[in-house]
Amino acid sequence: MQTFTVNGRAVRVRAVHCGTVTIKRCHATCCLPERTPSALRLLAILADRRFAPPMPIWSYVIEHPDGLFVVDAGASPSYNDPHSWRPDPRTGTVIRSFIKLTVQEGAALPERMADAGLDPENVRALVLTHQHVDHTGTVPSFPRADIWTTRAEDLAAGRIGALHWRWRDGSTRIRHVDVEGTATDLGTAVMLTDDGSLSAIHTPGHTPGSVTVRLTTDQTDIWFTGDTSFTADGMDPAAPTAGIHTDMRRVRALQSRLRDAGLILPSHDPTVPARLGSASVGVSQ
């Protein structure tokens, strides 16, 4: 946990480790020309027999004077339980053939929060940077939270493997950034706090409905960028990038826009704890 300030008031940011994800090498780094249509890049991923090294899965908890906010719900141990796929076993077989998740029982996001003395039932809003399985696994554990995603992501659910049946039901409080937000120079955005310091912005590219979360502090802007790049170094638009992006042009434009905009906190970068700690140096705890 690291402390920043917003207008002199303490805001705490926690990077919560929620297991690991292992993906194909053509998924981790695009193995075809970036201009290749996304459907063909997906086929290359499925055909690839090589796996890249495991990557951490980070969720983020923001303790703001206005309440408790979470960015991404991480993965759930149920992903590896064949019984949990009974409504759609074929999809389960396909997805688990190229995305491997390791999440220990009792070590998913809600349990990690409870260990830190934070009650998931007190979360005011949970923002999904996108709806892939390693970002939506524990949504049902936040029954009182507004779940922020985008209408664009919902409309693309079948194409991107969003698997709504695994994490939402009639009681899930779904809200859409691209419907309720207002236009900004970066994309349609909603303010999550009264002081405007925390916002969710529709930034399509990794998926059609991807969202970037911005926290403006007295020290720096903090950007929770999901999978726009797996690492902060990968935000360089000249660096290799993932093969799974649905719109490479938009991804590269967003990487160029944000790479020097402040502290970048992607969802799978092993250097997150060190960089988060360095950014808050000098702030009274």
Residue 239 bridge partners (DSSP): none
**Is 16 inside any structural domain?**
yes
Q: In this structure, what CATH number is given to the domain that contains residue 14?
A: 3.60.15.10
Q: Amino acid identity, residue 130?
A: H
φ, ψ dihedrals at 196, nearest 5°: 75, 10
Say whether 192 sits in a helix, a strand or coil: coil
pLDDT in tens, 193-223: 999 999 999 999 999 999 999 999 999 999 9
Reported for 32-40, long-range contacts at CB under 8 A and 24+ positions apart, including other chains, are: 32/243, 34/241, 34/248, 34/252, 35/248, 38/245, 38/246, 38/247, 38/248
Residue 170 has what pLDDT? 87
167 within some domain: yes
Residue 84 lies in a domain: yes
In a domain, 284, yes or no: no
User: In angstroms, what is the C-alpha Rg of the chain?
Assistant: 18
Burial 54-80 (b: 16+ CB within 10 A, else e): bbbbbbbbbbbebbbbbbbbbbbbbbe
Residue 123 lies in a domain: yes
Q: Would 175 be classed as within a structural domain?
A: yes
Q: How confident is the model at residue 281 (pLDDT cuts 50, 70, 90)?
A: low
**pLDDT confidence bin for 284, thresholds 50/70/90:** low
For residue range 82-103, list pLDDT tens digits in order. 999 999 999 999 999 999 999 9
Residue 285 lies in a domain: no
Provide the domain count of the chain.
1
- Name the residue range of residue 192's domain: 2-279
Residue 282 has pLDDT above 70, yes or no: no
